[in-house]
Amino acid sequence: MHIIVFMKPVPTEINLPYSPRGTLLRDSSSWNVNPEDVCALEAALLLKDTNKNVKVTIITMSYQKGKALLYEGLAKGADHAIFIHDPLFSESDTRATAQILSKVLSGLNYDLIFCGYRSADAGTSSLPFRISEGLNLPILSNVTDLSCNQKNIYAISHVNYGYVETETTLPCVVSFHKDANHPRLPNMRLLSSVYDYPVETFTDKDLKLDITDMGWSGSALHVEEIFSPVLTKKGYIIDDTEKDAVDRLYIQLKQDHIL
């Protein structure tokens, strides 16, 4: 069984640098692995722990410094690493990113594609669904626990304020909830040797994508404005009997055009 795991570098700062177009200048910020992608990697490694026939490949599409996160994944026990990097891929939104990742995946044999439910920077949760749609694969979303065999996968997914049990066939896409499991630390013995590992690299010369499928030109989402919300009104406290407080709150909400 071959499991692909997407790992995305996300910024760790509060005040993030942006380009004039409103896109994040990722190469100018410090980063960490997206927490939910770490949960996805741990789920793959847990399956590998109990089945010697499981192979785990980690993939990141990022700026040059982001390549380092692949070594962290290898030090945890991943078997192979793929780095997708090209200046033409910068400023890609989830649509363009899905096009690029799907092109890479089209040349690979896999049984499962793991990733986080959403990223800590954008948080749209749309990438797993775009990958699923682009590759015509079923998807299990926001998964907290799973088990699988060579043909089927069984999962428990977080839905609103409850959980739902689902089942589908392989291959499929699985996105993981932030509390899916407790990720392991890198193995120090592996960490001392992984930097000599030959990471496979893909650029646009390898993928030969159309310009409308990548970067700014391939992105459907363009940022109009970036600003910090300003609190214009203070809250209010209604000190009254229960019934009168409800009546006064209703009137106040009407006056504030909330209702």
Cα(53)–Cα(58) distance, rounded to whole angstroms?
17
Report, as an integer, the average pLDDT of 30-57: 93
pLDDT of residue 174: 98
CA distances 253 to 62, 143, 217, 232, 234, Å, are 46, 38, 44, 16, 13
Q: What is the dihedral of CA 114, 115, 117, 121, to 10 degrees?
A: 180
Report, as an integer, the average pLDDT of 208-216: 91
pLDDT of residue 130: 95
pLDDT of residue 158: 92
Q: What is the dihedral of CA 19, 23, 27, 33, to 10 degrees?
A: 160
Q: Are strands 31-33 and 9-11 parallel, antiparallel or unpaired?
A: antiparallel
Is 95 in contact with 209 (CB distance < 8 Å)? no
Cα(195)–Cα(257) distance, rounded to whole angstroms?
59
Token pair belonging to 10: 């996300």
pLDDT of residue 205: 95
Judged against a pLDDT cut of 60, whether residue 54 lies above it is answered with yes
Nearest alpha-carbon partner for 58 in 89, 84, 94? 84
pLDDT of residue 10: 84
Judged against a pLDDT cut of 60, whether residue 28 lies above it is answered with no
pLDDT tens for each residue of 102-149:
999 999 999 999 999 988 777 788 999 999 999 999 999 999 999 999
**65 vs 170, more confident:** 170
Judged against a pLDDT cut of 70, whether residue 23 lies above it is answered with no
At 16, the pLDDT band (50, 70, 90 cuts) reads low
pLDDT of residue 21: 67
Cα(192)–Cα(195) distance, rounded to whole angstroms?
7
H or E element that contains 173: strand 172-176
